[in-house]
Amino acid sequence: MGKPLIDRRRGCKIMTKKKIGIIGCGKISGIYMKMCKRLDELELVACSDLVMEKAQASAEEYGIPKVYTVEELLEDPDVQIVLNLTVPAAHSRVSVAAIEAGKNLYNEKPLAINREDGQEMLSMAAVKGLRIGCAPDTFMGGGLQTCRKLIDDGVIGEPIAATAFMACHGHESWHPNPDFYYQPGGGPMFDMGPYYLTALISLMGPVRRVTGSTRITFPERIITSQPQYGTTIKVNTPTHVTGVMDFASGAIGTIITSFDIWGSQLPRIEIYGSEGTLSVPDPNTYGGPVRILLGRNKEWNEVPLTHGYTENSRGIGVADMARAIGTGETHRANGKMAYHVLDIMHAFHDSSLEGKHVELASTCTQPAPLPPGFGL
């Protein structure tokens, strides 16, 4: 990622690579396995899955040297960072075991299903001096970094409000194993909220207080993807979640995430500033388009992207963490921000149940922007 360090005297790369072991060789693992080959900071040395055939198949496809059980992977002293790509319900169990084994950890989102598990992970890692990173890293892509630079440069003035919308009809039509999307830790907010909330925090800083309203519209879902075509899923988590966020900065955000909507023409994210409006690209992608409307000007203009990594680059957050372990800097897709996101998502649901605003106990710092031209 970026330029590797060069030892000028010997004219060769200083070994900064961190050795990665992946746990969970499912749908999303392929892009990480591919990116581990492309990113200078990472070397994928081992993989593992509850279903050994899946780990074996991934190892063959991506040339991964070692196929392990989870226990064997955690015992291998070579593995420096565990990449936990299991389903949300297994995140904290696998992560706690990895931290106990002395491994740095990077988790797929969400950080954990409940706050207690997320806190346990953070405090265990702090005691052991280990890093925790967490997806998404889409906010490090060219689209959202261009937006960050526009805001930091004051182009839209002071951000006063934001809207974020994710409307679809769920994942049972395409995902091979969609049950987890309808269980606690799934639902549209825990599944897609991390992209939208992480993007908003990276653009506007942390949130102070939230309000929410939630509902379950369809108590059962029928799977229409293979191999479980025709199977019924019982829905155990809200599938339409609306939230209001008071940012620490004073800006006010509105978010809707829904698996109950057949179609919509809502934008993904818009940031409203005192001088203009910024149209932010889909935060589940790395690229553009970025569009802006200034003052009374009625025209939207597309802004050229100032940063690279505009294709699916899942893994740049892991590379940033690997590099930060070497330099001692704070990595961007960090556990503290992921915990703040988890806290916000729970607070929307708590607010709906309790019928009141929820003041957040957590906060985080806005991650450092990437330098312009990064990755181009």
Ligand X SMILES: NC(=O)c1ccc[n+]([C@@H]2O[C@H](COP(=O)([O-])OP(=O)(O)OC[C@H]3O[C@@H](n4cnc5c(N)ncnc54)[C@H](O)[C@@H]3O)[C@@H](O)[C@H]2O)c1
> Under a CB-based contact definition with an 8 Å cutoff, are residues 32 and 315 in contact?
yes
> Under a CB-based contact definition with an 8 Å cutoff, are residues 180 and 316 in contact?
no
Closer Cβ to ligand X, 53 or 152, answer by number: 53
Whole-number minimum distance, CB 314 to ligand X, in Å? 7
| Cα 293 from Cα 366, distance rounded (Å) | 25
Question: Collapsing DSSP states into helix, strand and coil, what is residue 246?
Answer: strand
Whole-number minimum distance, CB 93 to ligand X, in Å? 6
Whole-number minimum distance, CB 75 to ligand X, in Å? 15
- Choose the stretch contacting ligand X; rule: CB under 6 A; options: 44-52, 222-230, 295-303, 335-343: 44-52
Size of the site for ligand X (CB under 6 A): 22
User: Binding to ligand X by residue 277, rule CB under 6 A?
Assistant: no
User: Binding to ligand X by residue 49, rule CB under 6 A?
Assistant: yes
Closer Cβ to ligand X, 278 or 341, answer by number: 341
User: Binding to ligand X by residue 141, rule CB under 6 A?
Assistant: no
In the block, residue with structure tokens 């690997």: 322
Among 1, 20, 23, 318, binds ligand X (CB under 6 A): 23
Single-letter amino acid, residue 157: G
| Cα 179 from Cα 202, distance rounded (Å) | 31
DSSP character at residue 334: B
Q: Which residues pair with 245 in a beta bridge?
A: 210, 253
Closer Cβ to ligand X, 114 or 213, answer by number: 114
Whole-number minimum distance, CB 294 to ligand X, in Å? 34
Among 18, 103, 109, 336, binds ligand X (CB under 6 A): 109
User: Binding to ligand X by residue 341, rule CB under 6 A?
Assistant: no
Whole-number minimum distance, CB 31 to ligand X, in Å? 8
- Choose the stretch contacting ligand X; rule: CB under 6 A; options: 43-51, 143-151, 213-221, 323-331: 43-51
- Choose the stretch contacting ligand X; rule: CB under 6 A; options: 6-14, 50-58, 71-79, 328-336: 50-58
User: Binding to ligand X by residue 222, rule CB under 6 A?
Assistant: no
Return the number of other C-beta atoms located less than 10 Å from residue 215's C-beta. Answer: 12
Nearest residue to ligand X by CB is 26
User: Binding to ligand X by residue 103, rule CB under 6 A?
Assistant: no
Residues 292-311 binding ligand X (CB under 6 A) are none
Whole-number minimum distance, CB 177 to ligand X, in Å? 4
Q: Give the strand order in the sheet containing 42-48.
A: 66-68, 42-48, 18-23, 81-84, 104-107, 132-134
Closer Cβ to ligand X, 228 or 254, answer by number: 228
Residues 344-363 binding ligand X (CB under 6 A) are none
Among 16, 56, 114, 177, binds ligand X (CB under 6 A): 177
Choose among 146, 81, 141: nearest CA to 324.
81
DSSP 71-87: HHHHH-TT--EEEE-S-
DSSP 165-184: EEE---STTT-SSGGGGGST
Among 33, 35, 64, 70, binds ligand X (CB under 6 A): 70
Helix ranges restricted to H, the chain: 29-38, 52-62, 70-75, 88-100, 115-128, 142-152, 187-204, 316-327, 335-354
DSSP character at residue 313: -
User: Binding to ligand X by residue 26, rule CB under 6 A?
Assistant: yes
Closer Cβ to ligand X, 69 or 213, answer by number: 69
User: Binding to ligand X by residue 90, rule CB under 6 A?
Assistant: yes
Burial of 376 (0-12, 13-18, 19+ CB in 10 A): exposed
Whole-number minimum distance, CB 171 to ligand X, in Å? 8
Single-letter amino acid, residue 354: E
| Cα 349 from Cα 333, distance rounded (Å) | 24
Among 1, 20, 22, 25, binds ligand X (CB under 6 A): 25
Binding site for ligand X (CB under 6 A): 23-29, 49-51, 54, 70, 85-88, 90, 94, 108-109, 177, 191
